[in-house]
Amino acid sequence: MSDDPTPPFSDQRQPHPGFTDRMDPKPDHGEDSYKGTGKLAGKKAVITGGDSGIGRAVAIAYAREGADLLVSYLCEDEDARETKKWVEEAGRTCILVRGDISDKAHCRAIVDKAVEAFGRIDILVNNAAHQATFNDIGEISEEEWDKTFAVNIHAMFYLTKAAVPHMKPGSSIINTSSVQADSPSEMLLAYAATKGAIQNFSAGLAQFLADKGIRSNAVAPGPIWTPLIPATMPKEAVESFGEQVPMGRPGQPRELAPAYVMLASDEASYISGATLAVTGGKPII
């Protein structure tokens, strides 16, 4: 049995986009547990939404595997600085870029800064996401719908299109989908729709890029304990978060990191167009 926290959790809702230090219990990003073995030695990676949650866990793991990073984030400066600290403690470079990826010019600027610093991009992790919960479709404004797609879908396209010319054979693109792509929740209608699109985009992109030697895959997390949960879920959903999967608990961000490491590494050289489920036992078929 896992020693990771299980529901019920306390009522701890907080303003969007959510902050790690206000969570109880604190998420585990692998700060004390992840051990690198050089799988990504010398590689250069861009991670969106790398300030907290899954993105921070991936940043820590990538740094300990030998990669230098550019971490993109919205506005959570304290969380971003904490990620940078862990990356630098691993002896790697971490460039922080603050801003809204729903702006196509900002997406291009992220890629430009990475290329300026590193000369190339070996790994692109499109991880940042926007979500909100609603009880009825009538509650979803047109602005909210557009924002969800702008952050989750359009930005992924802009970043990928800008990055590909700077990626060599052997490079990897990893997009964060969700169990919501296959098992959508009605209260996450807009978010779930984008996650289905991400999964489809990743598979189509793999075929586009195969002749360039660039791989494209998706990771589909189940319920993961990140700041997005208390910042976007109603009280009852936060308190019971994760109990719906067979393992009976939410995943910790550190439990996602090995999937992203594997897909970024040369060991995954024949894996492209796949979706890797990390869902606590809930099947994706």
Per-residue CA distances from 15 to 18, 130, 138, 152, 230 (Å):
6, 13, 22, 20, 8
CA distance 129 to 102: 10
Q: Are 17 and 76 in contact (CB under 8 A)?
A: yes
Chain position carrying tokens 């970043």 = 159
Which residues make beta-bridge pairs with 251?
224
Sign of the torsion formed by the C-alpha atoms of 193, 198, 124 and 92:
positive
- Spatial separation of the C-alpha atoms in residues 202 and 197, rounded to whole Å: 8
Cα distance between residue 80 and residue 40, in whole Å:
22
Per-state percent for the chain, helix, strand, coil, to nearest 5: 45, 15, 45
The sign one gets for the Cα dihedral 207, 274, 57, 11 is positive
- Integer CA distances (angstroms), 219 to 41, 93, 116, 119, in order: 22, 25, 28, 27
Distance separating alpha carbons of residues 190 and 188, to the nearest angstrom? 6
Determine which one of 62, 73, 191, 260 is catalytic.
Answer: 191
Task: Report the length, in residues, of the chain.
Answer: 285
| Residue given tokens 């970024």 in the structure block | 264
CA–CA separation, 255 and 90 (whole Å)? 19
Q: Is 73 a catalytic residue?
A: no
Positions marked catalytic: 191
